[in-house]
Amino acid sequence: MGAPESKELVGPRATTSLVSRASPLVSTAQQLKTLRQVDLSKLPNQGVFREKLTPAGIDIFQINVGKLCNMTCRHCHVDAGPDRTAEMMSRETVDLCLAALDKTTAKVVDITGGAPELNPHFRYLVEQCVARGKHVVDRCNLTILLAGPYRDLPEWFAARGVEVVCSLPHYRQRNTDLQRGTGTFEKSIEALRRLNAAGYGRGDPRLRLTLMHNPAGAYLSGDQKSMEREWKEGLQANHGVTFDALITLNNMPISRFLEWLEISGNLQAYMELLVNAYNPATVPGLMCRNTLSVGWDGRVYDCDFNQMLELDTRYADGRTAHIRDFDPQQLATRAIVTARHCFGCTAGAGSSCGGAIA
Amino acid sequence: MDTYYRPEHLPKFSSIAQGNQKLADKFFDYYAEVFKAGALSAREKALIALAVSHAVQCPYCIDAYSKESLQQGADLEQMTEAVHVAAAIRGGASLVHGVQMLEHVQRQVMA
């Protein structure tokens, strides 16, 4: 599959991609089937996600520019990795995204991947969004900022006021390296130091540095505020690193995290945990209600998780949505596509690309 | 009953209210209040609970607070140190009684 891995691209790895191993879970139908087959019939709602979700207007335009990544984290919901060279957003699709963006009132453009910086049109996309006065978010794995052609990015981002949202599961080494591969923690700290040196994470609202925590296993994220305080103390005292905010996300039971849940014998208990922790107070703030997610090939989804399960956004007449025929008025009347994985966002304090909800 | 400890008893903890609703309500309200972040963080309280769980050797508590410690952002090294604190206090509690033994010996044995 795809081109051979480039040497400079290979960063820390905790595993390899499902695609490279030809795992049955490469099939999104197989993933959905695996989730459906978990017996949750004894739980109060039988494990059926019953909320009928409707869109509340597009505040965040999220663009997933491809699955290529220098890392292969164990919990990745994208199945990204250095071998995923085939799925890469083209310049033409980038321009279609920009044209669609102009039809919306979205204030935020959230760019993700893979490692989004690896897309050859990444800087063009950022420049175009900044020129339109959008608040741009780069979802960054940190280690990419140490790789050859990307080392100037902290200063480049700073000059454009791009918010950097970085994955760092823990302020200590163990859980970071378990999830993201040996050596990740050390590299991440070095990258954070460079972001700090470029002015990030020092309280300047133009240069926001946000850290993102995912649990390193089959449990929910803890209290976001409490953890933020401890992450700040821990990183400052031990590494002299500062940041502005910590957001906490639950792991979605899809893709590589689903594989790990199955192999480790945690799938049943994790699904029970998610369903039992269902919190109705999270529903109004679910990201699928105010975000639109575009895939590398221009297909449109209600969220990045639906994207990875190939659950396309559908217009009210049943057509699947594509960025080339983007129609925000018609999208406003759609029903959001849901399935069992949605319990990942409604569990506990809730989970979204912006962190906890309730 | 074929065993004294059953994992399914933990999620049924609240059924203890069947014998006295009022006391159970007071206990669970108090319990919830104790574990709220205050002067100590939720993670610190989870680690204290984990250590105490080992000191009182309660398998339900060890299950619950291993999970809670992870969820509140503790890692294996922090959790292991918490368990060693319990072990040190338990060991120390035995050993410090040795002074009583020592004084007994000093009283009764010809020096």
Q: What is the pLDDT of residues B38-51, one digit of tens each?
A: 889 899 999 999 99
Q: Is A227 in the B-facing interface, judged by CB distances under 8 Å?
A: yes
Residue A38 tokens, joined? 């978990």
How are beta strands A163-167 and A245-248 bridged, if at all? unpaired
Contact A227 B77 (CB under 8 A): no
Average pLDDT over residues A133-145: 97
Q: Which residues contact A94 (CB under 8 A, 6 or more apart)?
A: A65, A121, A124, A125, A128
- Closest to B58 (Cα-Cα) out of B86, B100, B24, B99: B86
Burial of B82 (0-12, 13-18, 19+ CB in 10 A): buried
CB atoms under 10 Å from CB of A206, counted, come to: 12
Record: contact A222-B77, CB cut-off 8 A: no
Per-residue pLDDT at A358: 86
Residue range A194-253, pLDDT digits in tens: 999 999 999 999 999 999 999 989 999 988 998 999 999 999 999 999 999 999 999 999
User: Would you say residue A44 has pLDDT above 80?
Assistant: no
A-interface mutation test, from B36, B67, B71, most A Cβ less than 10 A away: B71
Please tell me whether residue A256 adopts helix, strand or coil conformation: helix
A56 has a pLDDT exceeding 90: yes
Q: Report the range of poorest mean pLDDT among A7-16, A91-100, A247-256.
A: A7-16
Q: Report the pLDDT averaged over residues A106-118.
A: 97
What local confidence, expressed as pLDDT, does residue A179 receive?
A: 86
In A165-204, the residues whose Cβ lies within 8 Å of chain B are 170, 172, 174-175
- Assign B1 a pLDDT band (cuts: 50, 70, 90): low
Chain A CA closest to residue B72: A222
Confidence check: pLDDT of A3 > 50: no
Nearest to A217 among B70, B77, B78 (CB): B70
Band of the pLDDT at B3, cuts 50, 70, 90?
confident
pLDDT, residue A7, reads: 59
User: Average of pLDDT values for B11-36?
Assistant: 96
Of the pLDDT bands very low, low, confident and very high (cuts 50, 70, 90), residue A316 is confident
Whether the ω angle into residue A114 lies within 30 degrees of 0, i.e. cis, is: yes
Collapse the DSSP code of A88 into the 3-class scheme (helix H, G, I; strand E, B; otherwise coil) and give the result. strand
ipTM of the complex: 0.72
Give residue A178's pLDDT. 87
Mutation test of the interface with chain B: which of A42, A43, A171, A172, choosing the one with the most B Cβ atoms within 10 A? A172
Segment A148-165 shows an average pLDDT of 97
pLDDT tens per residue, range B48-99: 999 999 999 999 999 999 999 999 999 999 999 999 999 999 999 999 999 9
Asked whether the beta carbons of A290 and A58 are under 8 A apart, the reply is yes
**Residue A1 has what pLDDT?**
40
What residues contact residue A322 under an 8 Å CB cut-off, 6+ apart? A298, A299, A300
Distance from CA of B74 to the nearest CA of A (A): 9
pTM: 0.89
Give the model confidence (pLDDT) of A322-342 as tens digits: 999 999 999 999 999 999 999
Among residues B80, B73, B12, the alpha carbon closest in space to that of A221 is found at B73
pLDDT band at A8; cut points 50, 70, 90? low
Q: How far is CA B12 from CA A135, B17, B31, B34, B60, in A?
A: 48, 10, 16, 20, 11
Residue A199, number of CB atoms within 10 A of its CB: 16
